[in-house]
Amino acid sequence: MRNFIKAFAIIAGIVGVLMSPACSKDDSNDDSIKLYQERLEIGRALLEVQAPNVDEILPYYTDDIEYHDPIVNIYGIQDMTAFLNQLIIGASPNLVTIVEDETLIGDIYSATWIMSGDFLGVPYQAKGISIFKFMPNSTQVYYQRDYYSEGDIMATIPGLDQAIEGFRTYYKCAVDPTFDCPFPSSSPNPLNNQLRSQDQISSDQLLVGRQLVEINAGNWTNVLPYLASNYEYHDPIVNIYGPDTMGMFLGRLFAGSSDLYTVVEDETVIDDIYMATWTMSGEFNGAPFSAPGMSIVKFVEGTTQSYYSRDYYTEGDVMLGVPELSDAVLGFRHYYRSAVYPTYDSVPGRVSPPMLVP
């Protein structure tokens, strides 16, 4: 009997040793799933924050948080706290943001959204996209950048609306083949290429997504085979439907911007959705500019054919290169910073919308 008990104890000990790593691995997987879910919820909460709960989301930022949008650059939790209070509680108390598409890979959360409300009494609506970077194995965010076009707000401000509408008309005339331009313009012949597929979809979607973002005058025709028959493209100004129309659009764009180049920075692909941040620089019809931006590319499930892409950037970065429009952009940015930027040195007193002199 004693021998049996000893043998049983030895066997039980061996089983316990063998099972310990398995249990540890299960616990690790549970922790990873929990962290993933928490980060998704935090990313949404930081984007969809409203006036009553600003204080609730502040602990999710690190003390050295870095935040950027088309107009302001914030460094540190003290300035971030003041910025959110001035923006959401002070300037836009009825601000509502709704998340649309979102991805979370590793420590990077990205999402597209629609924002609406009033800014100092001026109603507006804007589409945007954001990227958040979490500390490793943490629910705290150390970096956030929001991409949207300040033109969507400028378009609602008397005095600035004519400047932004004029620029958008100018841009559409130059690149949008479906736009009824009030000025004469020429367009290249439409291109039509056959579609093809590739193996190893995830890695190939990453390559194709990057290629769609980094297109330039020398290689833009190479992306056309990856556009599905129902493809649509959007940026702050134009809406393009169909691969043939996209070919005409790209032909016009690079005819006036032969030295336009885009460099991808951060990128992710998951569930047939590619997202990337980038910097674009060059000239548009002779006007030099440099602009940060972010894009989303959606693929037909399990293929490298894209049916949707949208570029997020602010047209104000391009307008700054046009002497007749730069004052309008600078005036609006002063107006915006004065309202929300805690470290901005503005003229004391009430902030009023800038007006253009005819």
CA proximity to 63, closest of 74, 49, 54, 71: 74
Residue with tokens 């870095």: 66
Name which of 122-131, 147-156, 197-206 the model is least confident about: 197-206
Task: Return mean pLDDT, the chain.
Answer: 85
| Last-in-domain residue among 115, 148, 181 | 148
Q: What is the span of the domain harbouring residue 249?
A: 161-319
More confident residue, 308 or 342: 308
Same domain, 181 and 294: yes
Angstrom distance (rounded) from CA 18 to CA 137: 27
b/e per residue, 263-296, with b = 16+ CB within 10 A? eeeebbbeebbbbbbbebebebeebebebbbbbb
Q: What is the pLDDT of residues 215-274, one digit of tens each?
A: 999 999 999 999 999 999 999 999 999 999 999 999 998 888 889 999 999 999 999 999
Q: What is the pLDDT of residues 319-353, one digit of tens each?
A: 888 888 899 999 988 988 888 878 887 654 444 44
Angstrom distance (rounded) from CA 300 to CA 270: 12
Residue 64 has pLDDT above 90, yes or no: yes
Give me the percent of the chain exceeding a pLDDT of 70: 84
Angstrom distance (rounded) from CA 144 to CA 68: 6
pLDDT the model gives residue 83: 93
Same domain, 139 and 171: no
Structure tokens at 231: 């493809």
Beta bridge partners of 227: 306
pLDDT the model gives residue 20: 52
Same domain, 137 and 176: no
74: phi then psi, degrees, rounded to nearest 5: -115, 135
Same domain, 65 and 176: no
Total of domains in the chain? 2
Same domain, 139 and 204: no
Q: If you ran DSSP here, which 8-state letter would residue 24 be given?
A: H
DSSP 145-200: EEEE-THHHHTTSTTTHHHHHHHHHHHHHHH-TTS--SS----PPP--------SS
Domain annotation covers residue 258: yes
Decide: 323 and 245 in contact? Cβ < 8 Å.
Answer: no
Q: How far is CA 9 from CA 1, 15, 18, 21, 70, in A?
A: 12, 10, 14, 19, 68
Give me the percent of the chain exceeding a pLDDT of 90: 58
CATH number at residue 74: 3.10.450.50
pLDDT the model gives residue 16: 53
The percent of the chain in helix, strand and coil, each rounded to the nearest 5, is: 40, 30, 30
Residue 21 has pLDDT above 70, yes or no: no
The model's pTM is 0.79
